[in-house]
Amino acid sequence: MTATHCPYCALQCAMTLGPADAEARRVRAPVAVTGREFPTNRGGLCQKGWTSAQVLGATDRLTTPLVRGADGELHPATWDDALDLVAGRLTEIQERHGRDAVAVFGGGGLTNEKAYALGKFARVVLRTPFIDYNGRFCMASAAAAANRSLGVDRGLPFPLADLGGAQAVLLLGSNLAETMPPSTQHLAGARAAGGLVVVDPRHSPTAALADDGAGLHLQAVPGTDLAVLLALLHVVWAEGLVDADYLAARTTGADDVRRSVAAWWPERAERVTGVPADDLRRAARVLAAAAPVNGGAGAVVLTGRGAEQSTQGTATVTAAINLALSLGLPGRPSSGYGAITGQGNGQGGREHGQKADQLPGYRKIDDPAARAHVAAVWGVDPDDLPGPGVAAVELVRRCGTPGGPRALLVHGCNLVVSAPDNQAVRERLQALDLLVVCDFLPSETALLADVVLPVTQWAEEEGTMTSLEGRVIRRRRALAPPPGVRSELDVLHDLAARLGVTSGFPTDPAEVFDELARASSGGIADYGGLSHARLDAAEAAGQALHWPVPAARDGAEHPGTPRLFADGFPRPDGRALMVPVDHRGPSDRLHPDQPLYLVTGRVLQHYQSGAQTRRVPALAAAQPEPYVELHPLLADRLGIADGEPVEVTSARGTAVAVAHVTPGARPDTVFMPFHWSGEGSANRLTTDATDPISGMPEFKVAAVRVRAHVPERAEVGA
């Protein structure tokens, strides 16, 4: 039996893998999955977790390198031939176009060890500034706002279980009931107190948790979460509900925020958001009554992608933090602000080197002291390290253009499905001189590659992940990978050697982690006191280790930091910074040709680009195809019946999917899940406009037209 964690979201539910029974083997699951007691999931798993082992036995599993031949097709190759080809082409491209002509794109599902090694490979071997990852699509706005206001980016600065003690929870833009089902049990206390407030343009399964006296659903116009928050702040200040002592002692900028929200009285906000002014007042009072300053048991403000994937995402999260600070929540029991991290290692993946501007430990790459520290660990001259690169959307936008990257290495990401305006992304990838993809399945992106390298997946490897609450956990190997499959640590080691760097890229995950610990030591995300052995011992003792975990001093091991901000904020003056922000709306504006809002998101059965879950028969059968949710009034006006195919068109392109008519939608809004490729891909429609601070693309709001789909008829005699 092997104790490990689910391969999907950042909840990182604990599970045990054991021998598969006959039924499991029938559906090609090499191991059986059992839920395991753990503070986040308490033994439960969602449908994706229960079926996760089936992906290990996928019939189209990649087991040999593939190289595109002169005939334009991918053909099997030996590892030596494939790696020799990649190294030779990279060398040729950099000699001809410069080091910046090669770029790296990582993923939030990589272990900490692989994410660290990938960042080091980009900076030490390729010496390119161009590395970023798909976490830019996930947590970038929350990270930018939290770093600016609170001095640190840790999705939840408290254990998830602390939510259970909160009397009120404000949840903006997150459908936890479908994306992280086991997490909803932690909302029980707020629901019992009537304090669950959900902001979502859909009456999602999560919004339904606030029904029947459990709280409030604020069904805002898409893209107006910021205006909702500004109205809540207005009420808190206008009605004297703030924690004045907390603000005076622990923050700066409160007066500036107070003045800035004076213009957002609830009646004005109602005209912008569609949320009744009385509901805005009630929501603000519910949160204030739960705040410790008013004798409440605690209140928590949480944001998710619906609020963050916006051109004003950083401003929206800043307003959420301002609200939490105004009520005196951060650092108090069962209280605070947090961001719901999405990808399995979205937290750890950004801490140790995949982001364009960061070095391990969440160090800034343009900080001379940070460069010196990491360079010393890596045994290189700090001056040889490249400077900051560009965010993911801009990186892809430059691929194959004059002066842009001519080669791209992709690890753990299916860009062709998951990136915004993905038809343009496909064009950019096809314009490259060399596209190399490491994957364990033939994803849509892998099928475009010049070279595909088959790598291990979750149950076949050792390593660590960092959950949404900053808890560093162990991923353990339960079975050997298929013959011919290698770890990405092996791939990076072998490529580095071929490119002239013959040391510094170990293949043992425990050894890589020890180096990561040294490189991160003293940084914001300090793993200096951790090792695989210590993590194993802590788990055996039923203990948790949340970063920062500095190295031991005077023989005493640091216990970790499950809760931040109790004694101050890691900013120069020890205070949180409150920053005034204002609402300007999404980049796509409704107009007569595109008079409806499109919002996108996930469904219970599928994950991210669907490359894994669409290969699980039970999940594919439960949700077999893309669809478009329409309100009955909208469907009637457009003459569309439930189950009929419809076309959804934006300024970027057209998608075709089946209509689902439901009263849970707003009459001015349609919803599409983004797990499918081809003509049903929601990201054919989304814009690549980005937040100017975080680089986060505006996935969540687009202006579209919807009409019945009439298939093209073949000409008679054709």
DSSP assignment of 301-322 equals EEE-HHHHSSTTHHHHHHHHHH
Q: How far, in Å, are 45, 127, 261, 533, 574 from residue 256 at the CA level? A: 45, 43, 9, 49, 19
Cβ atoms within 10 Å, residue 627 = 20
Distance CA 618, CA 639 (A): 33
* In contact, 64 and 369? CB cutoff 8 Å: no
| pLDDT for residue 647 is more than 90 | yes
* In contact, 474 and 532? CB cutoff 8 Å: yes
Distance CA 574, CA 572 (A): 6
Average pLDDT over all residues of the chain: 96
Q: What angle do CA 6, 540, 41 make, to 5 degrees?
A: 35
Cβ burial 413-437 (10 Å sphere, 16+ → b, else e) = bbbbbbbbbbebbbebbeebbbbbb
pLDDT tens-place string over residues 420-476: 999 999 999 999 999 999 999 999 999 999 999 999 999 999 999 999 999 999 999
- Per-residue model confidence (pLDDT) at position 425: 97
What SS3 state is found at 625? Answer: coil
Confidence of residue 148 (pLDDT cuts 50, 70, 90): very high
Looking at residue 121, the DSSP 8-state letter turns out to be: I
- Per-residue model confidence (pLDDT) at position 717: 40
Q: How far, in Å, are 117, 261, 281, 296, 386 from residue 235 at the CA level? A: 48, 9, 6, 18, 48
pLDDT tens-place string over residues 236-277: 999 999 999 999 999 999 999 999 999 999 999 999 999 999
Confidence of residue 321 (pLDDT cuts 50, 70, 90): very high
- Per-residue model confidence (pLDDT) at position 335: 98
- Per-residue model confidence (pLDDT) at position 468: 96
Distance CA 158, CA 98 (A): 45
Q: What is the mean pLDDT of residues 600-605?
A: 95
Amino acid at 115: A
Percent of the chain at pLDDT exceeding 70: 98
Cβ atoms within 10 Å, residue 225 = 32
pLDDT tens-place string over residues 184-194: 999 999 999 99
Radius of gyration over alpha carbons of the chain, in Å? Answer: 25
- Domains plus CATH for the chain? 2-57 (2.20.25.90), 66-137+364-455 (3.40.50.740), 141-339 (3.40.228.10), 596-708 (2.40.40.20)
H helix or E strand, kind and range, residue 4: strand 2-5
Q: Six-digit token pair at 82?
A: 């494939």
| pLDDT for residue 279 is more than 70 | yes
Q: How many CA atoms lie within 13 A of 451 on its CB side?
A: 26
| pLDDT for residue 716 is more than 60 | no
Q: What is the mean pLDDT of residues 48-53?
A: 96
Distance CA 205, CA 183 (A): 13
- Per-residue model confidence (pLDDT) at position 22: 72
Distance CA 214, CA 434 (A): 54
Q: How far, in Å, are 224, 328, 407, 417, 588 from residue 422 at the CA level? A: 25, 42, 19, 6, 17
Cβ atoms within 10 Å, residue 637 = 11
Q: What is the mean pLDDT of residues 281-299?
A: 97
Confidence of residue 407 (pLDDT cuts 50, 70, 90): very high
Q: Six-digit token pair at 402?
A: 């004059």
Continuous H helices in 204-265: 205-208, 225-238, 244-250, 254-261
pLDDT tens-place string over residues 549-561: 999 998 899 999 9
Q: What is the mean pLDDT of residues 293-307?
A: 96
What is 356-389 written as a DSSP string?
TTEETTTEETT-HHHHHHHHHHHTS-GGGS----
Of the candidates 133, 142, 108, the one whose C-alpha atom is nearest the C-alpha of residue 307 is 142
Cβ burial 120-157 (10 Å sphere, 16+ → b, else e) = bbbbbbbebbbbbbbbbbbbbbbbbbbbbbbbbbbbbb
Q: Is the pTM of this model over 0.85?
A: yes
Q: Six-digit token pair at 519?
A: 């490189």
Of the candidates 281, 283, 287, the one whose C-alpha atom is nearest the C-alpha of residue 300 is 287
- Per-residue model confidence (pLDDT) at position 711: 80
Helix pair angle (509-520, 112-120), 10° resolution:
70
| pLDDT for residue 718 is more than 60 | no
Residue the block writes with tokens 């071929």: 498
